[in-house]
Chain A
Amino acid sequence: MTDLRDTVREKLADRALQEALARSLGIVRDKREGALAELASFGDAVDAASRVRYQAVQRLRELLPQLESRLVGEGTHVLWARDAAEACRKVVDIARQRSVLRCVMSKSMVAEEIGLDAALKAAGTAVIQSDLGERVVQLAHQRPSHITAPCLHLSAAEVGRILHERSGIELSTDPEKLSRSVAKALRPVFFDAQMAVSGINMAVAETGHLVLVENEGNCRMGYTLAPVHVAVMGLEKVVASLQDAGTLLSVLARSAMGQRATCYVSLLPPRPFPGQERYLVIVDNGRTDAFGAGPMRDCLRCIRCGACLNACPVYERVGGHAYGWTYPGPIGIVLAPFLGPSEVRGEISNLCSLCGACTEACPVGIPLDRLIVLARGLSHPYRPADAVRKERRFLKWFGAAMGGRLRYRLSHLGHRLAGAWFPERTRQLEASLGWSGTRAAPRPAAELFRKRFRKRRELPSELGERDQGGRRDA
């Protein structure tokens, strides 16, 4: 990762990005508010969903084998992958065995996380993304910038231009028209595909159902038509029962994009369609580490709705690419210590002002801002050693200055005198801390509050009697 501050500066200066983010997130936030207002008991729904996910994560060791045996019993193959490389290898093997030349992929964050697209391509299988947003970023040789809206960083005009230039779609700025044109262009791809790859939103341990949620119908086209369907999931995606899945569905779409429900909800029964082979690849890739990481385990509750991104004031300004890996926004920060590449594990947690808007938005009750503080604690080994040393030195100095009454006063006096005697140096120091120019640095007061308070107390006339307690110890 290049210097985070430089990345942020660059994003702030990118007018087109700023406009696209402000516009899209403005719409999403309004829609979400509307959708929540409709459901009088959204708070209750969130409580129920939080419980469902909390329990599912606690019971992973029991639910995953249950899921496996349900699926295997009905003829779905279950493959386990410890890390990204193993997951890709297993999917590539499936493609090789059936000489798959063309694969259609519907939106999957895990596939993105493990780099499945590139792995298949390297093995000679062409991959076409069938989700409109994913298709756009694929054509533009970019990466998704949002969990549920991959091209949120682009304006409608840019999307239209990319589709026109890279795949001959008629030039337009109308999202409806564009998505119809893309759907039409993709039709033959679905019939041609020898393999469909999808993510899943939930896997039901008790019944073996795979639950898929989407708006475009591309996912459904893919898994219906292709002779081989490979579903990839992170191992945390399991839930206990269909009832639980329903509870989550009641909050998922509302939180995600402010819809009452998504256009399509697929419940794939554990037995594959006649004549079709189905694989479920269950990916660990750091999730077990998260499971064992104390309170950080809560990050496994996530249902990838994207609400925390939409609510985040930092995401709104820097966009998803600034986070440097698959998962941006608050959830990206808390997943990074376990799932992220080491180059993002150092600085990503600084993309947060700890405002807590994410925690407020999360439909499964993940205390995201609290976890971000913990993620900062885990980030130090991945940061430049001298930066960490400097930071700790400063905090130690600060701690010492705060460690006693006299030291506290002396440090205040020192600050004041520095400003008076060495104004230039002080200004430089403040500027190096970013407090200069457009944001004036705070000036130490001539007299501390405590001193003024005590002085006033010593004037007997004001209070009538002298309050000893006011002087010192409470």
Chain B
Amino acid sequence: MKVALFVPCLMDRFLPDAGMAVARLLESVGAQVVCDSRQTCCGQPAVNAGHPDLARKMALRMLKLADHELPVVVPSGSCVAMMRDAYGLLDLSGEDAERWSSLRGRVFELAEFLVHRGLADRVTARLDARVVVHHSCHHLRHVHGAGPLAALLGRLVGAEIVESPQALQCCGFGGVFSVKLPELSVALGRARLQAMLRLEPRYIALADAGCALHLGGIVEGDGLSSRVQVVHYAQLFTGDGLEVG
């Protein structure tokens, strides 16, 4: 099966290991991964900052590049939510609206794709470590991705997946929010982090690049890098970029 992979800008630039993990995980279940290197950003920052006019161009570009029949797999909940729902804020019409309605039906978050297509059963991987999943808000509430993610993580032999109520609450990233009110953003992130660290995980896994950079930044800033690593959940399966020990 052929799938079109869209690795969002933040992951492409700052977390390429996560991107590699996503590609490899897809390939490991037999998918043929294609990745259009003209893809950049879906336009989310401008939409969320309240400038839909400035997001339009990016969205139209994205729609044009995704004007094919393949399923589009995106390893980031917020980008999926953007393309699936929030493009509705851009007053698309004509050809663009058609492209959007086609894309909406075949854009998937990674775990969602693997589970819905019955591919998750083919995943075989082992990781002997304790992991806390922090549920990124868009992945949780817009993509409703908690179920598929749990199902996929169930395939990770040896891993101890622990839950935390704080892991269901916003990490404080929020895109523009993180730079407009940085103290608040960090305070929220640190509160979640401290709650999760009490469970002594080796890894904190997320389904969104932005949240991972934010929480990872706090881990580094607070000198906790030797204790815990913030990763994209795909990395748990392939080992890309995982620090061990």
Contacts and interface: CB of A to CB of B under 8 A. Distances in A.
A12 B184 contact: yes
Interface residue range, chain B:
35 or more
Nearest to A405: B38
Contacts of A227: none
Given A4-B181, A433-B179, A449-B7, A373 B188 contact: no
A434 B182 contact: yes
A143 interface: no
A154 to B, nearest CB: 21
A317 B184 contact: yes
Interface string A4-30: 110011001000000000000000000
B100 interface: no
Contact of B217 (A349, A396, A435): A435
Nearest to A438: B221
Taking each of B169, B183, B184, which has the highest tally of chain A beta carbons within 10 Å of its own beta carbon? B184
Interface string B1-36: 010100101111111101110010000000011111
B37 A405 contact: yes
A469 interface: yes
B182 A354 contact: no
Given A354-B137, A392-B54, A434 B48 contact: no
Contact of A467 (B14, B32, B36, B47): B32
A422 interface: no
Contacts of B14: 442-445
A141 interface: no
Contacts of B48: 354, 373, 376
Given A377-B50, A405-B38, A474-B36, A350 B181 contact: yes
Given A392-B54, A399-B46, A374 B41 contact: no
Interface in A39-55: none
A378 B140 CA distance: 27
Contact of A453 (B20, B50, B68, B188): B20
A355 B54 contact: no
Contacts of B104: none
Contacts of A317: 184, 187-188
A447 B16 contact: yes
Given A434-B182, A437-B221, A439-B218, A450 B188 contact: no
Nearest to B69: A474
Nearest to A473: B36
Contacts of A454: 35, 37
A359 interface: yes
Contact of A318 (B61, B140, B176, B184): B184
A352 B141 contact: no
7 contacts: A350-B181, A360-B141, A373-B48, A392-B54, A438-B218, A439-B218, A450-B12
Interface in A377-431: 377-380, 391-392, 395-396, 398-399, 402-405, 408, 412, 415
Contact of A439 (B33, B57, B181, B217): B217
B57 to A, nearest CB: 6
Contact of B57 (A318, A379, A403, A452): A403
Contacts of B34: 467, 469-470, 474
Contacts of B198: none
A149 interface: no
A402 B50 contact: no
A286 B138 CA distance: 31
Contacts of B178: 353, 434-435
Contacts of B57: 399, 403
Nearest to B186: A439
B70 interface: yes
Given A354-B48, A356-B140, A440-B218, 12 more contacts: A5-B180, A313-B170, A351-B181, A360-B141, A373-B47, A376-B50, A434-B179, A435-B179, A440-B216, A442-B213, A453-B23, A456-B20
A453 B19 CA distance: 8
A441 interface: yes
A448 interface: yes
